[in-house]
């Protein structure tokens, strides 16, 4: 009896070992499982109906992150009319956040939209990075490590919001420049990011992501007609830490409403799934083909040898 | 109606020696009770404080439009009325009484977890001021620009790269 | 060269021994058995070399500019268009055109089709150089090129598609070096090395198939990271890797047809009779492979449109462009291959191969640049970016030619084997 038990244990150990190897080998597929974000993660709810386009957030971000002096003062509102390649302003290596103005025909006043990293729950930049330069912190920030970055810029391809920017101007010290939720200086100490603190209108509400969703729903529910019934970022690309409320449909204020509902990684899984299969099936398959294809030759060789003997 | 109630209340109070002032439900304040002017400068940093002419604003708006239910008058927002129809005058009518200056602090955010709490979305003090003032100014054609109400301080100019801290002219054409 | 080969029987070098019975030194082999003056003479007689000199005269300073002043100085790479020609052409275009190595390695070594043997080494070399220069293009494009080994050894992100590409291209590059080494060993006369590789050849070939399947597919899968950016007709989340893999088959074969044609016409002195006599037959054989791969590719392309319910896109301007691409880059050469195979029109096949190869580059540029950000705006590469791309490609051409001139690629080594 004792023997059987020990043998069973041995078997168990063996199985566990095999499973461990399988897990280690299948790193690629393991990582492809869904991750719904840290429960305690923080976020920001951006209410477009509150924003007045004062650009205080831009100024605060600039100072907090030590970004270069802007070309125009932050109280210069002519920047809202800047158009490049037919597009409104975007974030770049000198600005982690920008505010754009949208004239809405059915409204008697313009709407303003703040753009910064949305700090996805399952970030595409992170999952596409082959040197693990990105980290989603338990606080909710998606941060970047310039020390390991190779500069391949796949994260910029993968980000559905066009957020990571590259320091193209530098040959010796280039890096990705993007909003990091003021992680180093504020968020990790429980403080809100600089832009949130600077916003006079509380268009930016900082809080636990879960609480923010409740707040957003409350605003939609209790002020009927004020908002469209959607929190942008609640489900987009698997959910983002920064979310938006708007009084007009989101495509009218520059949002991409066609981004997938699922994390970007999900569309890559199709391929990731075949990797272990090719790795395990191909060798046997093609070795078999080889044997079949060269069988006649082998027989011939054999016969020739036998004849010689 | 209101005056009569007031008279009864006063009479009642007088009857108990005139020293006993109990905040009673259904008791509301009047514009005359308010100060002439309020200096709003508790958050002043980038801008100087605002000298708020309360007396003048009383002509434009009723108390409850800014003070919600706290002054005892009938609340404007039907959603608030669900609970505050008869809640009467509150102990505290100042903005700072309810709207926190530490709106995004860890302690405040943790307190929002209380399951019974309804006001999970109450703006902080700065937000409350601006949301209230600006939205009304927009509809009544009041001043809405930052500098219409505020004077920018030296540190404000530094923050906004404006005034004495404007970007160098040479660089301006660079972009 | 033809000029010298008529005058001196020992040139071109096919043997360790000179006419007088002494051995060629490596240095002499490198100079093709010519004196420096003779070498210079033949070099400057060739108009292609003058073209190369012209390209490098401007290209080298531009590359220096890129490494001193950054990518921003020479490219239109931007925050909206992170990838330009260096990757669009250099990586996404060069890699499929270099699938020849594993294709012919498989045909000859694995399926035992010895009749394709004369072109096997050329296909392997074509593969090796294509990959090597794809990596070189990557080194031009990477922000921190000195950190190329990071994904391998310093900071690993194994869940990323690019991680696969990096590892597989690196391993496959080693595999291809090993596969081409026998030619080098014959040339320097170190037969022991050749025998060692010979024993590993089946393993190397199978490794080649695995790695090729995965990284050719992975290059396609890279675009599935941008499902909302690449035009839906050029991006199929489910089939992208098969599209890229399948098209690399005929791309690689077409590239060998092109390369062998050029060598046959402009380097006839270097080819031996086995190569020259069998080339037409082999070309037809390669064309058969191409046409099968193309029909398969065409079908999966249509399946992808059907699967994603994208028929309505075909009626838009982008749809017309898509059908133009499929028509010119796939259907036309496929038809030409078919006619060529049937009637033994080798010339037509060669022309079809050229169209097919250019068509693949067109497809990769469409996917990575032209139809990328289709809802934003289209970016036109900086002329310096174009020039640098041409310069690196010219370097590829020169390296290719340098090796084919010397190593037994299109001729059999007459010395001891």
Please state the φ and ψ torsions of residue A135, each to the nearest 5 degrees.
Answer: -135, 135
What is the C-alpha separation between C284 and C302, in angstroms, rounded?
27
Nearest to C175 by CA among C152, C130, C146, C208: C208
What is the C-alpha separation between C95 and A129, in angstroms, rounded?
21
% of chain C residues with pLDDT over 90: 65
**Distance between C81 CA and the closest CA of chain A, angstroms:** 8
In angstroms, the separation between the Cα of residue B54 and the nearest Cα of chain A is: 21
Instruction: Name chain C's partners: 3 or more CB pairs within 8 A.
Output: A
A223-268 confidence digits (pLDDT tens): 889 999 999 999 999 999 999 999 999 999 999 999 999 999 988 9
Contacting chains of A (3 CB pairs or more, <8 Å) are B, C
Return the closest-CA partner of residue A279 out of C164, C158, C101.
C164
* Tens digit of each residue's pLDDT (9 = 90 or more) over C46-63: 899 999 999 999 999 999
Predicted local confidence at residue B28, as pLDDT:
60
Question: Residue B163, by phi and psi: left (phi above 0), alpha (psi -120 to 50) or beta?
Answer: left
Contact A202 B127 (CB under 8 A): yes
User: C–B contact (≥3 CB pairs within 8 Å)?
Assistant: no
- Confidence bin at B16 (pLDDT 50/70/90): very low
Indicate if the pLDDT at residue C243 is higher than 90.
Answer: yes
Distances (CA, A) of B65 to A47, B62, B128, C31: 21, 6, 12, 94
Both tokens assigned to A200: 């006079």
More confident residue, A160 or C155: A160
Beta carbons of A174 and C143 less than 8 Å apart: yes
Q: Do B120 and A70 touch (CB under 8 A)?
A: no
In chain A, which residues fall in CATH 3.30.70.20? Answer: 42-263
Q: Tell me if C85 sits within 8 A of C241, measured CB to CB.
A: no
Residue C233 pLDDT grade (very low, low, confident, very high; cuts 50, 70, 90): very high
Mean pLDDT computed over B23-47: 69
Q: What is the pLDDT of residue B29?
A: 66
Does the pLDDT of residue C353 top 60, yes or no?
A: yes
> Could you report the per-residue pLDDT of A150-180, keeping only the tens digit for each?
999 999 999 999 999 999 988 898 999 999 9
- Is residue A33 within 8 angstroms of chain C, CB to CB? no
Provide the residue ranges of all domains of chain C, joining segments of one domain with +: 1-40, 46-406
Domain that holds residue B68: 2-165
| Least confident residue range of A276-280, B104-108, C12-16 | C12-16
- Report the complex ipTM: 0.89
Which residue has better confidence, B138 or A1? B138
Mean of pLDDT values over B57-73: 86
- Contact call for B161 and A70, based on CB within 8 A: yes
* pLDDT tens-digit series, residues C338-351: 999 999 999 999 99
Least confident of B23-27, B46-50, B153-157: B23-27
**pLDDT above 50: residue B21:** no
Name the β-bridge partners of B70. none
Interface of A with C in 78-97 (CB under 8 A): 85-87, 90-92
Residues of chain A with Cβ-Cβ distance to B82 below 8 Å are none
Interface partners of B (3+ CB pairs, < 8 Å)?
A: A
Question: Is pLDDT at A31 greater than 50 in this prediction?
Answer: no
Range in A45-59, A238-252, B87-101 with the lowest mean pLDDT: B87-101
Predicted confidence (pLDDT) at residue A85 exceeds the cutoff of 50: yes
**Dihedral pair phi/psi, residue C144, rounded to 5°:** -125, 80
The DSSP letter of residue C71 is G
CA–CA separation, A202 and A92 (whole Å): 25
Helices C161-188 & A265-293, crossing angle to 10 degrees? 30
Q: Judge if the upstream peptide bond of residue C49 is cis by omega within 30 degrees of 0.
A: no
Identify whether B112 is part of a domain: yes
Predicted confidence at residue B83, as pLDDT, reads: 87
Helix, coil or strand: residue B144: coil
Q: What is the CATH number of the domain that holds B73?
A: 3.90.10.10
Q: State whether C112 and A293 contact (CB < 8 Å).
A: yes
| Chain A residues touching C236 at Cβ < 8 A | none
Mean pLDDT confidence for A113-139: 94
Fold (CATH) for A42-263: Alpha-Beta Plaits (3.30.70)
Average pLDDT rounded to a whole number, residues C143-159: 88
- Provide the pLDDT for residue C2: 64
Judge: C158–A28 Cβ closer than 8 Å, yes or no.
Answer: yes
Sign of CA dihedral A272, A178, A153, A156: positive
For residue A58, is pLDDT > 90? Answer: yes
Q: Using an 8 Å Cβ cutoff, are A260 and C150 in contact? A: no
Which of A152, A259, A273 best tests the C interface by mutation, with the highest count of C CBs <10 A? Answer: A152
Q: What is the DSSP string of A134-152?
A: EEE-TTS-EEE-TTT----
d(CA C13, CA C28): 10
Point out the least confidently predicted range of A106-115, A222-231, B67-76: B67-76
Q: State the count of interchain CB pairs (< 8 A) between A and B.
A: 85
- CB atoms A205 and B121 under 8 Å: yes
Topology at the third CATH level for domain C46-406: Formate dehydrogenase/DMSO reductase fold (1.20.1630)
Helix axes C383-406, C117-141, angle to 10 degrees: 150
Per-residue model confidence as pLDDT tens digits over C283-334 = 999 999 999 999 999 999 999 999 988 899 999 999 999 999 999 999 999 9
Judging contacts by C-beta atoms under 8 Å, the chain C residues touching residue A153 are: 77, 82-83, 143
Which tens digit of pLDDT belongs to each residue from A174-212?
999 999 999 999 999 999 999 999 999 999 999 999 999
Residue A201 to residue A203: CA distance in whole angstroms: 5
The phi and psi torsions of A130 (rounded to 5 degrees) equal -90, 5
A226: phi then psi, degrees, rounded to nearest 5: -80, -35
Interface test with C, best of A267, A297, A298 (most C CBs within 10 A): A267
Per-residue pLDDT, averaged over A289-308, amounts to 81
pLDDT value, residue B175: 42
Using a CB-CB distance cutoff of 8 angstroms, which residues of chain A are in contact with residue B144? Answer: 52
Overall pTM > 0.80: yes
Tell me whether residue B171 is in a domain.
Answer: no
Range from B142-151, C267-276, C332-341 that averages highest in pLDDT: C332-341
Q: How many helices (H) and strands (E) does chain A have?
A: 9, 9
Quick one: pLDDT at residue A309?
A: 62
Say if B119 falls within a structural domain.
Answer: yes
**Residue A78: predicted pLDDT:** 93
pLDDT for B50:
86
Which H helix or E strand runs over A306?
helix A295-308
Q: How close B51 comes to chain A (CA, Å)?
A: 17
Q: Is residue B148 part of a domain?
A: yes
Phi, psi for residue A47 in degrees, rounded to 5: -105, 105
- Check if A167 contacts B (Cβ < 8 Å): no
Contacts of A214 in chain B (CB under 8 A): 120
Q: Mark yes or no for CB contact A73/B161 under 8 Å.
A: yes
Length of chain C (residues): 417
User: Sorting pLDDT into bands at 50, 70 and 90, what band is C35?
Assistant: confident
Whether A24 shows a pLDDT value over 50: the answer reads: no
Percent of chain A with pLDDT over 90: 68
């Amino acid at each position: 009896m004792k023997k059987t038990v020990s043998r069973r244990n041995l078997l168990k150990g063996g199985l566990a070992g095999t499973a461990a190897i399988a897990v280690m080998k299948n790193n690629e597929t393991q990582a492809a499982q869904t991750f719904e974000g840290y429960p305690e993660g923080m976020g920001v709810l951006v209410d477009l109906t509150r924003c007045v386009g004062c650009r205080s957030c831009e100024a605060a971000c600039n100072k907090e992150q030590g970004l270069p002096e802007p070309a125009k003062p932050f109280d210069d509102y002519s920047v809202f009319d800047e158009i490049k390649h037919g597009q409104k302003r975007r974030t770049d290596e000198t600005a982690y956040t920008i505010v754009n103005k949208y004239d809405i025909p059915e409204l008697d006043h313009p709407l303003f939209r703040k753009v910064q990293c949305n700090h996805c729950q399952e970030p595409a930049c992170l999952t596409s990075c082959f040197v693990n330069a990105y980290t989603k912190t338990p606080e909710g920030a998606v941060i970047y490590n310039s020390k390991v970055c190779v500069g391949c810029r796949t994260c910029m391809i993968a980000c559905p919001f066009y957020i990571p920017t590259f320091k193209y101007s530098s040959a010796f010290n280039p890096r990705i420049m993007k909003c990091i939720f003021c992680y180093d200086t504020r968020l990790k100490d429980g403080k809100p990011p600089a832009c949130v603190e600077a916003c006079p209108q509380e268009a930016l509400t900082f809080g636990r992501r879960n609480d923010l969703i409740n707040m957003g729903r409350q605003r939609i529910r209790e002020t009927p007609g004020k908002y469209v019934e959607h929190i942008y970022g609640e489900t987009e690309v698997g959910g983002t830490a920064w979310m938006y409320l708007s009084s007009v449909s989101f495509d009218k204020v520059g949002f991409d409403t066609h981004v997938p509902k699922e994390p970007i990684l999900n569309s890559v899984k199709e391929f990731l799934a075949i990797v272990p299969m090719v790795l395990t099936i191909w060798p046997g398959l093609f070795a078999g083909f080889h044997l079949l294809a060269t069988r006649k030759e082998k027989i011939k060789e054999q016969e020739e040898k036998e004849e010689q003997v | 109606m209101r005056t009569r109630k007031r008279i009864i209340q006063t009479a009642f109070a007088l009857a108990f020696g005139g020293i006993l002032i109990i905040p009673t439900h259904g008791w509301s304040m009047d514009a005359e009770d308010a100060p002439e002017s309020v200096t709003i400068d508790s958050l002043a940093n980038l801008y100087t404080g605002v000298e708020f002419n309360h007396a003048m604003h009383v002509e434009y708006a009723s108390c409850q439009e800014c003070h919600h239910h706290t002054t005892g008058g009938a609340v404007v927002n039907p959603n608030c009325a669900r609970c505050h129809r008869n809640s009467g005058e509150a102990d505290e009518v100042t903005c700072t009484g309810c709207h926190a200056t530490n709106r995004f602090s860890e302690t405040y955010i943790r307190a929002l977890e209380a399951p019974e709490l309804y006001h999970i979305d109450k703006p902080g003090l700065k937000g409350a001021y601006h949301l209230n003032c600006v939205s009304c100014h927009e509809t009544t054609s009041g001043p809405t620009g930052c500098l219409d109400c505020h004077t920018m301080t030296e540190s404000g100019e530094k923050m906004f790269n404006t005034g004495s801290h404007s970007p160098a002219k040479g660089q301006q054409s660079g972009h | 060269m033809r000029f010298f080969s008529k005058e001196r029987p020992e040139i071109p070098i096919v043997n360790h021994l000179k006419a007088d019975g002494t051995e060629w030194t490596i240095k002499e082999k490198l100079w093709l058995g010519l004196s420096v003056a003779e070498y210079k003479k033949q070099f400057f007689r060739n108009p292609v070399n003058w073209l190369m000199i012209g390209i490098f005269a401007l290209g080298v300073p531009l590359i220096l500019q890129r490494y001193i002043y950054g990518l921003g100085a020479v490219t239109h790479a931007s925050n909206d268009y992170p990838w330009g020609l260096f990757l669009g052409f250099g990586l996404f275009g060069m890699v499929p055109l270099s699938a020849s190595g594993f294709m012919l390695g498989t045909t000859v070594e694995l399926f035992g089709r010895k009749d394709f043997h004369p072109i096997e080494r050329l296909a392997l070399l074509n593969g090796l150089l294509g990959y090597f220069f794809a990596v070189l293009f990557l080194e031009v494009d990477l922000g921190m090129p000195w950190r190329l080994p990071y994904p391998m050894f310093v900071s690993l992100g194994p869940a990323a598609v690019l991680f696969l590409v990096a590892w597989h291209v690196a391993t496959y590059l080693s595999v291809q070096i090993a596969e081409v080494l026998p030619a080098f060993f014959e040339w320097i006369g170190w037969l022991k090395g050749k025998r060692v590789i010979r024993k590993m050849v089946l393993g190397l070939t199978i490794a080649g198939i695995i790695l090729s399947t995965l990284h050719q597919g992975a290059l396609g899968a890279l675009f599935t990271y941008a499902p909302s950016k690449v035009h839906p007709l050029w991006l199929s989340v489910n089939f992208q890797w098969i599209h890229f893999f399948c098209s690399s088959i005929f791309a690689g074969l077409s590239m060998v047809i092109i390369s062998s044609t050029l060598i046959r016409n402009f380097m006839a002195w270097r080819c031996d009779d086995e190569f020259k006599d069998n080339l037409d037959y082999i070309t037809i054989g390669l064309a058969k492979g191409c046409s099968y791969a193309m029909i398969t590719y065409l079908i999966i392309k249509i399946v992808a449109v059907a699967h994603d319910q994208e028929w309505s896109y075909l009626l838009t301007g982008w749809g017309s462009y898509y059908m133009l691409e499929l028509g010119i880059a796939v259907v036309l050469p496929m038809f030409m291959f078919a006619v060529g195979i049937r009637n033994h029109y080798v010339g037509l096949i060669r022309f079809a191969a050229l169209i097919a190869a250019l068509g693949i580059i067109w497809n990769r540029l469409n996917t990575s640049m032209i139809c990328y950000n289709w809802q934003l705006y289209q970016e036109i590469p900086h002329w310096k970016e174009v020039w640098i791309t041409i310069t690196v490609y010219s370097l590829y051409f020169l390296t290719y030619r340098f090796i084919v001139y010397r190593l037994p690629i299109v001729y059999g080594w007459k010395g001891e084997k």
